[in-house]
Homo-oligomer: A and B are copies of this chain.
Amino acid sequence: MFIKKAEKAFLKTYDSSVFEKLSVTTDLLVFSISDLKTNNYRKLSNKVMSVFLANRDQFPFKDCWSLPGGFVSPKETLEETAKRVLREKIHVDDLYLEQLYTFGEVERDPRMRIISVAYMALVERSDLPYSLQQSDNWFNIFREDNKIILRNEKDSGVEFDLNMPSVLAFDHQEIIKIGLERLKNKIEYTDLAFHLVPNEFTLTELQNVYESVLGKKLLAPAFRRSIKSKVIPTGNMTSGNGHRPSELYCYKNNEA
């Protein structure tokens, strides 16, 4: 076909520098659920959402907390870059991953124009290598009214109010806010919550996950009705200390 030939000739001589190129990165918003220790030994430990942040060891924003990220290389898809960042920085390979939003403010990086495609990942903490489960990279997320507070899980003195300007590197606090909003909207009409619990969980644990993501308390009977069709009992019971054994459930669609 003539047009195919003409297109080939066009591509052969195409000057890809006609339009100025830009740098592109992906930033990773990794959410998980942490146990929030309480003082009362009989009380079940509460669950709280947390996000993984990295302390920057180089400029710009040296010593600031930031989302893990990396540059997209020319031969890599956006998702491949996101997965590479997860492997390199969090040492995991297979997480629930979805594209969140692309951030393109002109001055968002002081080095140069960088467009960042943010991805949201969800991980059940016990699926991570032990050192990462226990690392000082996790920040618990507390919400009251419109406030969002991040508090370091290991050092409660390291705390950020996301409504204050520039407490994290780059525009990463905006990315976190948009990710929290996305997760909150999606958890009610999708099954995303099951990426945040172990294979076996009690209904109270599951409710705690929903409560932490939604940022509000739920009524147990209504909650149990709403998720009834999504879970099945495994026949196992918890063997906890200081409280009665509870039935363990699993996610229905995980069943073969």
Residues on A lying within 8 angstroms of B by beta carbon are 3, 6-7, 10-11, 14, 16, 19-24, 59-63, 71-79, 99, 101-102, 104-106, 110-113, 115, 117
Contacts and interface: CB of A to CB of B under 8 A. Distances in A.
A171 B19 CA distance: 20
Q: Tell me the interface secondary structure of chain A in the complex.
A: loop
Contacts of A102: 78, 99, 102, 117
Contacts of A61: 7
B76 A115 contact: no
Contacts of A75: 106, 113
A7 B111 CA distance: 10
Contacts of A117: 102, 104, 115
Q: Among the interface residues A6, A14, A115, which one has the most CB atoms of the partner chain B within 10 A?
A: A115
Given A19-B71, A22-B21, A14 B99 contact: no
Given A14-B111, A115-B78, A59 B7 contact: yes
Taken together, the copies of this chain in the complex come to: 2
Contacts of A73: 19-20
Contacts of A105: 77
Given A62-B3, A101-B99, A102-B99, A74 B14 contact: no
A16 B20 CA distance: 13
A114 to B, nearest CB: 9
A77 B104 contact: yes
